[in-house]
Amino acid sequence: MKGTIPDPGSQKLNWHKPPLTVLVIKKMHDENALSAFTQLVKWLIQEKNMAVYVEKAVFDDAMCSENPVCRGLQKQIKTFEEEKDELTNKIDFVICLGGDGTLLYASSLFQASMPPVMAFNMGSLGFLTPFSFQDFKGQVTQVLEGNAGLLLRYRLKCVICRKDSQMSKIPHVKQIQRSHSTVQSKTHMLVFNEVVVDRGQSPYLCNIDLYVEGKLVTTVQGDGLIISTPTGSTAYAVAAGASMVHPNVPAIVITPICPHSLSFRPVVVPAGVEIKIMVSPEARNSAWVSLDGRNRQEIFEGDSVRITTAQYPVPSVCAKDQMDDWFESLAECLHWNVRKPQKPMPTLIDSPSTNSLTGNSDSSS
């Protein structure tokens, strides 16, 4: 039997038709991002003849409303409101101006298929935003012409099922559709980084049962549990002791938060497995769930958090390629393996004592 090993360099951007619409996500309340925003949008409209979509909240911000250039562009831009307007079939391309949070926010706007996203670093860390804005015209032009590599970042499908609800009776999370959810924005989400279940403000240990493929594998006693994508393995999970997993690896990372057990280590399971988390019947308190740091809500005994790998990844445009970008981010943002270099061995004087140390003694003497 012979398997096929995928080539990371084979993922390339290939437009089926020239992109005509672009969504620009801007970091709020930031002067540098606002300046870049006005330059970019003006250029996209005037030079590239593209239809530009921007969130309405951007123009409601005082920083933008008091800027004459920004006000002038507003008439040429199409606006949308989060949780009111569906963008999936309207947008061909996404550009983010900000930090990693802008990319997470962009992901949350597309709860199905997501168009390619290009992220410019204007935040504090920039682990997920590999592009510099200085040469934005040349870089964006290359992407629009299809000359770029892609990294398909896995997302998690997370469904919160309340006790005795209709969704709780569906045997597999893969079979649950968004139409089954009554409050879609909070109980059924595609998650970019991680799902976190924690003890909230309770003084007691979080006591939750962890199921993998329908089998109870362990009961977590500690501050909580992180279920993360490979991309999310370098976020909250790595701070809790998880291994850093390249985003192209098909996997789900399970990481305990401050477990009350010396032997409870993080584990990596294959992408596509079904994970279920429930408050243990012996628990002294409820638990809290957050999805990419948002939509925080309480779960009780009988409720369940059901997770698997989503069908729809986030296609991230690479600045160089998916290996160079990742290792460069590890070095630049996390200072991975940074230490003072070891000094070389000093030059030794040729003498009987030093020869014996270096293994060069003359056996004939």
Reply yes or no on whether the pLDDT at 363 is more than 70: no
The DSSP output letter for 292 is T
- Choose the weakest-confidence range: 70-74, 119-123, 259-263, 307-311: 70-74
Query: How are beta strands 78-80 and 51-55 bridged, if at all?
Result: parallel
Which segments of the chain are extended strands (E)?
21-26, 51-55, 78-80, 93-98, 117-121, 150-153, 156-161, 188-191, 194-198, 206-212, 215-222, 224-228, 251-257, 267-270, 275-279, 287-291, 294-299, 304-309, 314-317
Residue 189's closest CA among 115, 277, 111, 113? 111
Give the DSSP H or E segment for 41. Answer: helix 31-46
Whether the model pTM is above 0.85: yes
Checking phi first, is residue 192 left (phi over 0); if not, alpha (psi -120 to 50) or beta? alpha
pLDDT at residue 321 in the model: 93
Distances (CA, A) of 226 to 40, 74, 223, 235, 244: 37, 41, 10, 10, 14
pLDDT at residue 353 in the model: 57
pLDDT at residue 365 in the model: 45
Rounded-to-integer distance, Cα 276 and Cα 292, Å: 18
pLDDT one-digit tens code per residue, 37-67 = 999 999 999 999 999 999 999 998 888 888 8
Q: Which residue has the higher pLDDT, 238 or 348?
A: 238
pLDDT one-digit tens code per residue, 322-334 = 999 999 999 999 9
Rounded-to-integer distance, Cα 118 and Cα 136, Å: 11
Give just the sign of the alpha carbon dihedral 240, 242, 243, 246: negative
Q: Quick one: pLDDT band at residue 4, thresholds 50, 70, 90? A: confident
Catalytic residues: 100
Q: Quick one: pLDDT band at residue 348, thresholds 50, 70, 90? A: low
pLDDT at residue 2 in the model: 81
Cα 120 to its chain centre, rounded Å, is 15
Query: How are beta strands 117-121 and 93-98 bridged, if at all?
Result: parallel
Q: Which residue has the higher pLDDT, 180 or 130?
A: 130
